[in-house]
Amino acid sequence: MLSFFWNARGINDLNKHQCFRSWRLKNKPFIGCLVETHVLEPNAPSVIASILPGWRMESNYQYSHIGKLWLVWDPAISLVMYKKSLQQITCGVFLAESCRSFTITFVYASNLRAVRRDLWAEIHDIGRNQNLVNSPWLVVGDFNQTLVASDHSLRDEFETVSPGSREMQHCLNDHDACCFRIPNLAPKPKRPFKFNLHLIHHPEFLSIVEEAWRGFRVVGSSMQQTTRHIPIYRRELLKLWRVSSFLNKSFSLARQPLLRRENF
């Protein structure tokens, strides 16, 4: 599932509408965030209808009259709002097809280090929320902080390593639209244990089972012990199956009655 974060730097222009629609049709995202739209709140519904028809939106107009953050998503996914402020929007996403959920915090931080302190406090509080601690959590956005002096417009006057840049050294630095793919969170299907009955007639079968049982001690009921030993049995018996010609012999013996019936 593809998600995105895009600093639009204004999206009122109809040419930008067309560019965004083309990008969306090509990449097929399901959720994302637009920042610096420069769209006034009364005009937001019409812009969304133009660039993302049928999609839903949450914003932070109550904290900024220009709506710094637009959270947008395809109604095919289920979304729950957790928290929003001037610098972040946090939501929970539920994927019905895989019965899995995760949390995303989209960030558009202030360029003032003192104001960003409020953002760090909010992220810290979100991370301590007991309802979210067991959920995958992604924090992505524009933190309004250069990592190296060469990125700054006043690079000749910019401090080589500023206090703000030291706080962001573990973040990815990029000025383009950010796309990230949410991996398939569905659990891998468990492969059933298949037992080839003919192996019990192999002369080494009992010795392999006894060695596997004695070599791995399990505390628990008889059923628990047997269940925990199954992976070991599978591994050892698979070796036996591969190196032995017993399987081919068994197949030939089983095939003979069928051939006789066909010739009858």
pLDDT for 44 equals 93
Mention every residue, 6+ apart, whose C-beta is less than 8 A from residue 54.
74, 75
pLDDT for 142 equals 86
What is the separation of C-alpha 165 from the centre of its chain, rounded to a whole number of angstroms? 27
Residue 95 pairs in a beta bridge with 100
Mention every residue, 6+ apart, whose C-beta is less than 8 A from residue 149.
155, 158, 159, 160
Q: How many CB atoms are closer than 10 A to CB 107?
A: 22
Give the integer Cα–Cα distance in Å for 245 and 248.
6
Q: What is the CA radius of gyration of the chain?
A: 30
pLDDT for 149 equals 56
Residue ranges of the alpha helices (H) in 104-143?
113-127
Q: How many CB atoms are closer than 10 A to CB 16?
A: 17
pTM for the full predicted model: 0.62
Secondary structure of 163-208 as H, E, C letters: HHHHHCCCCCCCCCCEEEECCCCCCCCCCCCCCCHHHHHCCCHHHH
Instruction: Give, for all 264 residues of the chain, the pLDDT tens digit.
Output: 788 888 888 888 888 898 889 888 888 889 999 998 899 999 999 999 999 999 999 999 999 888 789 999 998 888 889 899 999 999 988 877 777 788 999 999 988 888 989 999 999 888 888 767 677 888 988 887 766 555 555 555 555 555 555 555 555 555 556 777 776 655 566 666 566 676 677 777 788 777 777 766 656 667 766 766 667 667 777 776 666 654 555 555 555 565 555 554
Give the integer Cα–Cα distance in Å for 86 and 67.
9
Q: How does DSSP classify residue 198?
A: G
User: What residue ranges define each of the domains in the chain, with the CATH number in brackets?
Assistant: 2-181 (3.60.10.10), 197-263 (no CATH)
Residue type for 175, please?
H
pLDDT for 97 equals 72
66, 93 in Cβ contact below 8 A? Answer: no
Tell me the pairing of strands 178-181 and 2-7: antiparallel
pLDDT for 45 equals 94
pLDDT for 242 equals 67
What is the separation of C-alpha 97 from the centre of its chain, rounded to a whole number of angstroms? 14
pLDDT for 209 equals 75
pLDDT for 202 equals 74
